[in-house]
Amino acid sequence: MTSLVSDKLTERLRRKEHEAFNELVRLCHTPVYRLAQRIVRNTHDAQEVAQETFLAAYVGIDGFQGRANIKTWLLSITYRKAVDRIKSRSEEGRLMAGTLDEADLWKIVHSVEDFTDWGKNPEQNYERGQLTEHLNQALEKVPADSRAVFELRDLQGLSSREASEILGINEGALRVRLHRVRQFLMKELQTLFSEKGEQP
């Protein structure tokens, strides 16, 4: 992940080489779009967030300090742009502003047993496409910032350090959010299997 965009390309970006930005888009469009889509949950908005992200990177490349790799920097822009977009929506805007009690949002999680062996049983009972559909439906029920944690860590495979840099939180907070999301999703999928008459 960290070597996806080389130092040489970064220098070309600083020189505002057009082809360098085309290369950056080719390399990073998929993770940028996926993160945007996971947060805004709308194809049109996700496309616009991706466009805004790359435009902001082009305009602001001189502000890139190089403390993180450029892909991490790009995904942090994506996250901020996506959050800004959903803040304009009343329901999720209130949620992101923190006016809903997190304990209430996650009270269902307290009844879940300690999380173990994530992802094993669903693969045994459903085709990947069906699992993906059910997983996405379950993710609709969790806060946008927690969807972002799950997308970056479990779906895109970033390290805790990279994900925490992107989201602007410390690694401890990130691990707590990820654990809660995994617990919640496991419970949702177990409920689904039980309804279908399958053993979780």
Predicted pLDDT of residue 5: 57
Range with the poorest average pLDDT among 21-35, 53-67, 115-129, 130-144: 115-129
User: What pLDDT, in 10s, does the model give residues 70-102?
Assistant: 889 999 999 999 988 887 665 554 444 444 344
> What residue spans define the domains of the chain?
7-87, 101-195
| Confidence label for 11 from pLDDT (cuts 50, 70 and 90) | confident
CATH architecture for the domain at 7-87: Orthogonal Bundle (1.10)
Task: Determine the average pLDDT of the residues in 121-145.
Answer: 70
Task: Determine the average pLDDT of the residues in 107-119.
Answer: 34
Q: What CA–CA distance (Å, rounded) separates 118 from 191?
A: 15
pLDDT of 132 above 80: no
The CATH number assigned to the domain with range 101-195 reads 1.10.10.10
Range with the poorest average pLDDT among 42-51, 110-119, 167-176: 110-119
Please give the residue that has the higher pLDDT: either 156 or 195.
156
Predicted pLDDT of residue 30: 93
Residue with tokens 């307290």, as numbered in its chain? 110
Predicted pLDDT of residue 76: 94
Report the percentage of the chain scoring pLDDT > 90: 29
Tell me the residue type at 51: Q
Please give the residue that has the higher pLDDT: either 198 or 6.
6
